[in-house]
Amino acid sequence: MWGIVSPAWCASVPPIRPSRSRRRTHPPPPTWRRSSPAKGSTTPPARPCRPRSWRRRSPSPTRSLRSRANSPTSSTPPSCRSPFRDPPAPHGCRTFWEESMRTTAAVALTCSLLLSAPAAFGASFALSENGARAQGMAGAYVGQADDASAAWYNPAGLVRTPAGGTVSLGGNLFIPAISADDVRGVRTNPGDSAHATGEAGATPMTPLGYASLRAGDRVAFGLGANTPFGLSVDWADNAFVRYQSAFAELRTFFITPAVGVRLTDWLSVGLGVSYIYADAELERKILFAGPPLAPPEDGTFRLGGKTNDWAYNAGAQVVLARDKGKLDQLTLGVTYHSAVVLDFKTADSSVNFTVPAAFVSTFPDSPASTTIDLPDVWTVGLSAALNNRTTVNFDVQHFGWSTFEGLGIEAENPATQAVISPVVRDYEDTVAIRLGGEHWLNDTWAVRAGYAFDQTPIPDKTLDSLLPDADRHFAHLGVGYRDGSFGVDAAYTAVFFEGISTTTNSEGHNFAYDSFSHIVTLAFNYHF
């Protein structure tokens, strides 16, 4: 971890630290009406587990195969809960006039970088909004995972997807709002208000794309494209916090091919491998304060770069209880997403300054390198099918945030590197809980709801304005619509932050924040 070190002549300045089977095992949506069994048949009447809208209109080899699978001689129970059935289923340094303007500017730069670097990427920026259907259920989906988004949530669930293929395209829209009040006082341009407003949360828009293809009873393939990590912080131009952060953004994009395999009638496993593209940008202002009566002037520091890497996810689903109608009443899901170290190398990353002409030689641009640690994530979930129309899910997640100890910035230019020194951030592991459910009203419409609680990994001593964060409560509502091979899933999420404030910041930069966020998730689905 790295920050900016004060030169020898600034030794008196307090140290500043950076801010930082076809067999479906769950209840279907609405009922699929089938004719009664032929006279003398031993086949029991079909359970009402598939919506009429998903039934194929004409005979096909696939349909015949499904019919045979539902016959008394088939060992594979019928599908029961995919959205497409078979085919339905977030010090100032004290200026001192005795030193030259150059000295004052360097002190301001020192403090700004110390406050900014780590927090740009060290807060809780894991995103749970990775599927529109799951989002309506608070992201509690690891035990159920029976649509194309299983490629991310739990690749073992790919074997529960409908026979044939499914494509789902959509995205998330984040609408955050935040304000901050200076409860202690930091170095600001004279006349700046002690109240600041801005936007802080996830990257404003994130894409979602999934596809699945089931090849027989026991093997299925999937492909996912999503953004599981990201952040965006954009303060107003005159915000007093601009000397800590004016703008910060981290964007990641995961492309994940995955495969699911059914090992037995009660156990399936899956594996995915993710290619990751990431880019990051940090911008904050530098206060150049001149001699008495000379107006202060803002300069700008920018750090930006891009990189790519690899990760993997693995999962399993275990059927714990199944009724006589082959409905999986209770399913346990377990998934693991690996940790990642994003390595921003000097070839693709740089530090840039916009400063008064007299200081260009003091603050030269330079290629730079840094790393960002993404945590590993364990998730355990239970999915209970109360009946053929209603499902309740519960997930617990563990995030290994303690691996993130800081952000290192290493500049190639010695003049730039001269003001960099190591700093520790001390982030902590966290737990999230998710509870959600889905109920199909009829053959076409489903409603969903959920609640989630997510801890922040940021201790009070390193909480600052670069990404204000706190323990969060999520309220979720969702709806699903199906008509033939076409479907739409939509969800709305309200994010409530517990009191965001710091009174024990290790550098004395204490603020009080107010924040609230809206999230809208939408996906269009097509089954073929």
Query: How many C-beta atoms lie closer than 10 Å to residue 221's C-beta?
Result: 18
Spatial contact of 294 and 196, defined as CB atoms under 8 Å apart = no
Tokens found for residue 318: 């275990």
If pLDDT is split at 50, 70 and 90, which confidence band does 510 have?
Answer: low
Q: Is the pLDDT of residue 229 over 80?
A: yes
Nearest-angstrom CA–CA distance, 76 and 59:
21
Q: Is the pLDDT of residue 490 over 70?
A: yes
| SS3 call for 414 | helix
pLDDT, greater one: 378 or 196: 378
Q: Indicate the residue type of 199.
A: E
Most confident of 10-19, 75-84, 363-372: 363-372
Query: How many C-beta atoms lie closer than 10 Å to residue 523's C-beta?
Result: 25
Q: Is the pLDDT of residue 336 over 80?
A: yes
End-to-end CA distance of the chain: give it in Å, rounded. 50
Nearest-angstrom CA–CA distance, 353 and 363:
7
Nearest-angstrom CA–CA distance, 289 and 192:
14
* Of 10-14, 390-394, 473-477, the least confident: 10-14
Domains observed in the chain: 2-33+90-527 (2.40.160.60)
Residue 105: its pLDDT value, please? 39
Spatial contact of 460 and 504, defined as CB atoms under 8 Å apart = yes
Nearest-angstrom CA–CA distance, 464 and 466:
6
Give the HSE-up count for residue 195: Cα atoms under 13 Å, Cβ half-sphere.
Answer: 2
3-state secondary structure 78-96: CCCCCCCCCCCCCCCCCCC
- Considering only CA atoms, which of 225, 76, 80, 257 is closest in space to residue 160? 80
Share of the chain above pLDDT 90, in %: 42
Tokens found for residue 466: 């670069």
Q: Indicate the residue type of 364.
A: P
Query: How many C-beta atoms lie closer than 10 Å to residue 359's C-beta?
Result: 18
Tokens found for residue 231: 């952040």
* Of 234-243, 301-310, 356-365, 439-448, the least confident: 234-243
Task: Say whether pTM exceeds 0.85.
Answer: no
Q: Is the pLDDT of residue 134 over 80?
A: yes
> Which tens digits make up the pLDDT trace of 95-104?
333 343 443 3
Residue 171: its pLDDT value, please? 96
Nearest-angstrom CA–CA distance, 474 and 495:
5
Query: How many C-beta atoms lie closer than 10 Å to residue 29's C-beta?
Result: 33
Nearest-angstrom CA–CA distance, 368 and 349:
5
> Which tens digits make up the pLDDT trace of 153-182?
999 999 999 989 999 999 999 988 777 666
| SS3 call for 323 | coil
